A and B are shown apart, each in its own frame.
Chain A
Amino acid sequence: MQERSDTSLIDDVKKGVPEAFDELMRRYQEPVYRIAYGFGRNRENAMDLTQEIFMKAYGKINHLHDGGRFLPWLRTLAHREGLNWIRKYKKQYQMENFDESIHGIIGQEDENLAMAHRHELLNCLFSLNTRYRLAVVLRYFENMPIREIADTMQCSEAMVKNLLFRSLCRLKTALNVKQ
């Protein structure tokens, strides 16, 4: 069976068919989860935030007029929800460390020096300010073009470039200090 377009699924959601929204969630759960992870810093938080983002998306889907731009719209929403989430759980957030599973994955091959450096790099990355971290995650791990990152983060392209450059400087400094 031919896969239905986002636009047609969104039309169904607007008519009140929740199953169509399930299909949209299935398609985009991973990109949303990765953005949520940038804010939540561990699996549980990221999954909770992903759920909140989808609930918000369902509530606001009637505001989306171009179904073809569902993913960029969803990413922007995810970013905004992530910022709200941090404001909401600010205290708890400052106490939490990022997921130990990241250490675990890298630890398996820790004998390799380059791997150890990457481990350090990730440590530094996840201790960066949220906006810097998100910019790096979207650019390097999601391979998103600068324009889309700017759309998602609701800022100018120049600002994204600036954020990325400053992130690089901070990561470099943090790595130097640790080494």
Chain B
Amino acid sequence: MDRCKTHHHHIMKLISGEISPHEQKELQDHAAGCPVCSALLNTDKMLAEMTNPIETPAQEAFISMRQSVLRQIRNRRRPKNAFSLTEWISDRKRGFSWQYAVATLLIFFSGFLTHLFLAGTEPTPQAEAALVDHIEQTAVYHTSLEQTQDSPYRFTDLQVERLNEDQLTLSFTVSRHLKLIRQKDDPIISEILAQAIINQNATAARISFLDHTTAQGDPRIKEALLIALRTDPSAAVRLKALERLQTYPIDDDIRETLLQVLQADKSVSVRLIAIDYLTGQNIEKELIGETLGSQQEGKYAAIRQKALQYIRY
């Protein structure tokens, strides 16, 4: 048995590939007369000769797994920094130290001051360079149109000019898809909706954005509503803008726009509602009369009739 113990040590060396030829010969000689060591060597031999029994799945399964990981990654932020404050704090071995506590507070306070200082400023050239750098790095990995379409960046308003034989100048707007949850009266909501109302292409989308404009008194939204009312090609959007505008107290800008609409809007419905709105706001009857008086008789009879009704009363 003691001899077996020595040879077990040799078997360990054999498994780890550290056995010398002399030890191997000794082991083989011993195994010839020892059923235990012989069975161990046989098992080792069987394992060593066996091809990997773990069949790797088809590439499609791996691709789908990788896509799933990437989707989750894109929904997350960047990888955590090497120094993790939560991990540092949760390290039970480290005792409480006032120096660390004060240093942490100072870091938070300086961060807060920086945030206040930067709030409302334009993106710095460094931030712009970092954005271009990131777009370039993303582009390097895209080898198919599908990947390009999956890119988090969207490029619009593209203008291309040839600079010289080898180079082009590109001028474009880049946007990145984000998802936010905010209170209805959050300034960012007004900021985004005000832009979307006058820039979005789809009529249904513009109507839906107008529906969400609840931030009363917000000058950005009011201005966007006035622009939509004056310039939007869709009568449905103009009607919706007019409806939302009625939640605002009338002022010179609104009155002027409404009179313009009354005089020039192509849609009879929009003009009828504009009259309703104006009459509800005690606008001088003469002003409405004058506005309509400049129009050709016989055209837009419904509008004239409604206006006359109001003027008579």
Q: Give a binary string over B207-248; 1 marks a CB under 8 Å from any A CB, 0 the rest.
A: 000000000000000000000000000000000000000000
Judge whether A140 and B47 touch: CB under 8 Å.
Answer: yes
Q: A171 is contacted by which of B16, B43, B134, B141 (Cβ under 8 Å)?
A: B43
Residues of B within 8 A of A20 (CB): 137, 141
Chain B facing A: main interface SS = helix
B41-89 interface (Cβ within 8 A of A): 42-44, 46-48, 50, 52-57, 61-62, 65-66, 68-70, 72-74, 78-82
Instruction: Tell whether, in the assembled complex, residue A33 and residue B56 are in contact, meaning their CB atoms are under 8 Å apart.
Output: yes
User: A29 CA to B90 CA in the complex, in Å?
Assistant: 32
| CB–CB B134/A17 < 8 A | yes
Once the chains bind, are A172 and B137 in contact (CB under 8 Å)? no
Residues on B with beta carbons closer than 8 Å to the beta carbon of A29: 62, 65-66
B15 interface contact, C-beta 8 A? yes
Interface centre among A62, A168, A176, by most chain B C-beta atoms within 10 angstroms, is A168
B47 touches which of A19, A54, A136 (Cβ 8 Å): A136
Contact flags A115-133 to B (C-beta < 8 A → 1, else 0): 0011001100100000000
Known contacts A117-B46, A169-B40, A175-B43: A21-B53 contact under CB 8 Å: no
A47 x B57 contact (CB < 8 A): yes
Interface contacts beyond A47-B65, A118-B46, A168-B44: sample of 13 additional A-B pairs, CB < 8 Å, sorted by A: A14-B78, A19-B137, A20-B137, A23-B141, A30-B56, A34-B54, A51-B69, A61-B79, A102-B54, A106-B53, A122-B53, A141-B53, A171-B47
Give B contacts to A, CB under 8 Å. Answer: 8, 11-12, 15-17, 39-40, 42-44, 46-48, 50, 52-57, 61-62, 65-66, 68-70, 72-74, 78-82, 133-134, 137-138, 140-142, 147
Chain A residues engaging chain B, CB cutoff 8 angstroms: 12-23, 25-26, 29-30, 33-34, 37-38, 43, 47, 50-51, 54-55, 58-63, 65, 101-102, 105-106, 117-118, 121-122, 125, 136-137, 139-142, 145-146, 157, 160-162, 164-165, 168-169, 171-172, 175-176
